[in-house]
Amino acid sequence: MLQKRKHFDAKEIFSIPNLMGYFRILLIPVFCYLFFTEDTREDYLIAACIVLISTITDFLDGWVARRFHMITELGKFVDPLADKLTHAALAICLAFRYPLMLLIVGIMVIKEGFMAVMGMIKLKKGKKLDGAKWFGKVCTAALFLMMCILLLFPSIPRAAADGLIMGCAAIQLFTLVMYIPVFQKM
């Protein structure tokens, strides 16, 4: 039976990887503000740099946690939360420029909702998904790459942008379908 943890100690709350996760969450409103108030190409690139800083911090927090044995239960929650919130914010912001991005937002809600509900159901039965699967990592990488392209090249032709968005939507749907048997086997 799983034991419920009532609190996290200060060492866990303030571990370097967890601080990087909090930092990534704090970067979200900064990016959104810069994205919506940009006047020049340089302003737009500054917003893209914020995303780059968030991405580098995402890679570093996992590396630091593993390398220095700082993996914590709180970190296992904060890191994916920061990922999901960042991706959702980027997708919503980009939807103002590329309306087809709403398809990505919708699929994200369905996919992440499914993962959360199934995760809670399985957790109540004492089972837990053992990390992201390869197709989940491919999905995240494709989503991030597509959004970075749209951020870095704001004058990309609409047909090319829509093609990238549709390709990413297909990968997201594939990933959702691939996770269904994973949860069934659990």
The residues spanned by each domain of the chain are: 10-96, 100-186
pLDDT for the residue numbered 119: 86
Whole-number pLDDT of residue 22 = 97
Tell whether the model's pLDDT for residue 1 goes beyond 50. no
- Give yes or no for a contact between 186 and 127, defined as CB atoms under 8 angstroms apart: yes
Instruction: Report which of 10, 46, 51 is spatially closest to residue 28, judged by C-alpha positions.
Output: 51
Residues 6+ apart with CB under 8 A from 103: 165, 166, 169
CA dist 140 and 176 (Å) reads 12
| φ/ψ (deg, to 5) at 26 | -70, -25
CB atoms under 10 Å from CB of 4, counted, come to: 5
Q: What pLDDT digit, counting tens, does each position of 23-57 carry? A: 999 999 999 999 999 888 888 889 999 999 999 99
Tokens encoding 90:
């980027």
Q: What is the pTM of this model?
A: 0.88
The DSSP result for 43-105, as a single string, is: HHHHHHHHHHHHHHHHHHHHHHHHHTT---HHHHHHHHHHHHHHHHHHHHHHHTT-TTHHHHH
Neighbours of 171 (CB within 10 A): 19
Average pLDDT value for residue range 154-164: 96
List the CATH code of the domain at 10-96: 1.20.120.1760
Position 4 confidence tier, pLDDT thresholds 50, 70, 90: low
